[in-house]
Amino acid sequence: MVQSFGSIDEILDFAIAREVEAAKFYQEMSGRVKRDAMKDLFRDFANEERRHKAKLEKVKQGKLLLISAKKIQDLKIAEYTEEIDMSSGAEFNYQQALIVAMQREKNAFKLYSDLAKLADDEGVRNLLLELANEEAKHKLYFETEYDNHILTEN
């Protein structure tokens, strides 16, 4: 990551902006899939990203948060899928939607892990690691769906 930060507030502002982007992404994805279950799932993930934003804003306001440091399994399916072109605005089939979501969550996990390495404040570092963990949970969900519904069928 080439981004440099001069303060904890800059790290938090950057992370908040990423959560806003993620919420918008999942809201848009809900309109690009046909299956109602996927529409609902993407809306739920948009709300989850909004909750992440709220956590970051609370930290920025000086409120303390409880941290959970549970290691999340990584199926590594996202590492073996090809990127999906999102520029066309076309609808996605189930497999494509899962791949896009897996890739996005993989990148979010890496982002928060990298930001945590930059944080001098232990509380902020722990929060960023918690958010990385949340993104890993999201990735695992999409990878499990892919494994159960795409890989199993092939």
Tell me the pLDDT tens digit for each residue of 6-35: 888 888 899 899 999 999 999 999 999 988
Q: What is the 3-state secondary structure (H, E, C) of the chain?
A: CCCCCCCHHHHHHHHHHHHHHHHHHHHHHHCCECCHHHHHHHHHHHHHHHHHHHHHHHHHCCCCCCCCCCCCCCCCCHHHCCCCCCCCCCCECHHHHHHHHHHHHHHHHHHHHHHHHHCCCHHHHHHHHHHHHHHHHHHHHHHHHHHHHHHCCC
pTM: 0.80
Tell me the pLDDT tens digit for each residue of 32-54: 998 898 899 999 999 999 998 99
